[in-house]
Structure 1
């Protein structure tokens, strides 16, 4: 497959907006890279297939547009056809789209938009619109001692949106307001060797197991000295927010989320070594809170030794430590790429409240990550974490935090 990779110079008129814009030269450099798809995760299992990545370079020879159609096979979902696109017309504006359809249960339609070009770049707007069905979803029960023996499967069918606007009220400090709508339906999943969640648990035991609606509003403060939003190498980040969901606005239940998060990036050796740390706490307060609206750990961005949504309770405490080591820089198919190794430790626990946290409730997940970084926009990653249920492997785009 590597032999079929190529670099082409394409007349710009053949690549209309949004593939290119005035920031591109004429002709346009397009690098085509066919790749095998070999992915594995605790919830989905093994996925095999192939994709072709089309990397479209702007006049500065930066990858400004990525198009990646792919086809793969998974024993639970059958054959899946996917089209992914990422567009970075400027450092202050970007959008992503993902269109995916499987022959069994799964489908995913997403659009993400970010724009920080308003009011002299002091106003940042974000939008995320989605409609998906995930037939690999799992539920084990609540609290940190939920057992692998109680594992069940369901299809998480959702649609909704998340909107936010952040305004820089002081240097490095942003006031953020947001609106979120989520409609969830629970259906039988695609994993046949596991019991259906709604057959094992009742609505009284697990609120929201029969579906729910969430309509919530958020306000928060963000402090950031990061040198890059998507690929930071130095700086500090802190965020505190409050989100409320009320029945009078259409939610199935009334509850509140309180969240604080801090992150730090500390480079050494001209950023060849970057020590990264994150500490986060989340608290959910209310009665009959739907299970997927509570505080949740597990997956590629929290506890990488477990599948998504492995631990659920009313609050969580999470710490992630990672050392990002640039092994070498190498031009692959005329694309300059940083190859990174990232040993990490994830430590976290769910609990009713922080004062009820117990030492034996915390999960310790060591692991190792492999990263291919195409600056300034694209990160491909493979993370392997070890938890009590065994190893977990995640393949995806972007840094985990």
Structure 2
């Protein structure tokens, strides 16, 4: 089936996918935001006449079907209670409910989405919170807030603002502030020979602030941007029972005892022709970036650099293009002294080596090559919406 999953370390993405699912069940337009966005941002749109980034407003049809909806002369509101369940290697099963509340103008144009949620996880306990998305100027400008707090250690707070309205989407301004504490993080050692038998657990605490400015070219297929980011990392005992604490099993892991404070300067270029940014079936996505990192941790000051190149390709084929061939290649290279393991190249989790949990491999350099065949399984009509399901 098409993979709407996530690692526990990304509650914002999980919520965004469920909200997208709510819109899908209601037969709404998939025109959301732009780009392959980080966790927490709403899913991205299909192309429109304004370019492949899809800069039209998300829309809601008048007289939306049940479960709950009502209209006034000024707006339409749809409430969609959804069961929510997620599973990952690191955190196990998380389940509960999320209730997207969609607000739209009489024309059907969605202006905001508010989505409270209550979830339970055996490691994290009860997690409650909300997500709020706000759209302006044909979705050229938007922001969101996410706040999730458990009754134990876990928390996730994020504010994200993106403005593509300058010169009708030519320029990009992006600001994000995030604070996250994950008590199910894993560490196995450093290098490709790290043993699964040395699996250990810790709580990863990270706070980050970043600002991005860039420019789109070639009908928004090409994007060049510059980013400044400040991140802090900390580690403490985790919450996975009967698993060794990383600080005891790997006391000399770079940066574990001291934490890390890193200032990053990055230049990035992307080429993007995907037909859909959430679940693409055709097109190309290519990215390269180079960055200089300043390790500002007291007593650990150093400069190190990173280079990353990634290529993804999707090819629809078979009867009615129902099958999809997906290819991905990636290389990440690092150089310099005193690199905390928090900042090293990492493989494992929702975005790389999905068969492993997040943090399975840490090292200075990393490379990855995947080929995936998504085979059509069945079609389904639900609430008068046609859907296609695939096996990866």
Shorter-chain TM range is: 0.7 to 0.9
Aligned to 1:313: 363
- Deviations for 1:266-323, whole angstroms, at most 9, x for unmatched residues? 2346654443322111111111210010110111111111111111111111123342
CA deviation after TM superposition for structure 1 residue 181, in Å? 0.9
Q: Which residue, 71, 90, 95 being the options, matches 1:10?
A: 71
Partners of 1:253 and 1:39 in 2: CA distance: 39
1:232-268 Cα offsets, whole Å, 9 max, x none, are 4432221111011124798843211100011223234
Q: Alpha carbon RMSD of aligned pairs, Å?
A: 2.9
Cα offset for 1:326? 8.0
Task: Pick one of 197, 218, 223 that aligns with 2:246.
Answer: 197
The alpha-carbon distance between structure 1 residues 111 and 255, as it changes in their structure 2 partners (threshold 3 A), is same
Residues 1:294 and 2:344 are matched in the alignment: yes
| Conserved 8 A contact 1:100-1:108 | yes
One of 326, 330, 337 as aligned partner of 1:276: 326
State the alpha-carbon separation in 2 of the partners of residues 48 and 230 from structure 1: 23
Q: Which residue of 2 aligns with 1:72?
A: 119
Deviation of residue 330 (structure 1)?
Answer: 3.1
If the length of structure 2 is used for normalisation, what is the TM-score? 0.74
The TM-score with structure 1 as length reference comes to 0.72
1:233-248 mapped onto 2 (5 Å cutoff): 233-247=281-295
Gaps of 5+ in 1: 13-25, 344-401
Q: Which residue of 2 aligns with 1:338?
A: 387
1:11/1:244 CA distance change after superposition, 3 Å: same
Instruction: Please show how residues 128-207 of structure 1 align to structure 2 within 5 Å.
Output: 128-168=176-216, 172-203=221-252, 205-207=253-255
Corresponding residue number in structure 2 for 1:105: 153
Q: Quick check: 2:259–2:297 contact (8 Å CA) kept in 1? A: no
SS of residue in 1 equivalent to 2:164 = strand
User: Is residue 174–residue 212 contact of structure 2 (8 Å, CA) maintained in 1?
Assistant: yes
Contact between 2:75 and 2:103, CA under 8 Å: does it hold in 1?
Answer: no
Shift of 1:78: 1.5
What's the CA shift for 1:86? 3.6
Q: Identify the structure with the greater strand proportion.
A: 1
CA distance, structure 2, for counterparts of residue 339 and residue 276 of structure 1: 17
Deviation at 1:56, TM superposition (A): 4.1
Q: Could you tell me which runs of 5 or more consecutive residues in structure 2 were left unpaired when the two chains were aligned.
A: 1-24, 26-65
- Aligned partners of 2:110 and 2:91: how far apart in 1? 30
1:314-337, Cα deviation, whole Å (9 max, x unpaired): 1111123342748436343x7x46
Please state how far the C-alpha of 1:34 moved relative to its aligned partner.
Answer: 2.2
**Residue in structure 1 matched with residue 101 of structure 2 by the alignment:** 54
- Greater shift, 98-107 or 79-88, is seen at 79-88
Tell me by how many angstroms 1:73 deviates: 1.8
**Larger RCO (alpha carbons 8 Å, 6+ apart):** 2
C-alpha deviation, 1:44, in angstroms? 0.9
Whole-Å Cα distance in 2 between the matches of residues 212 and 82 of structure 1? 28
Q: 1:67 to 1:271 in 2, by over 3 A?
A: farther
Partner of 2:314: 265
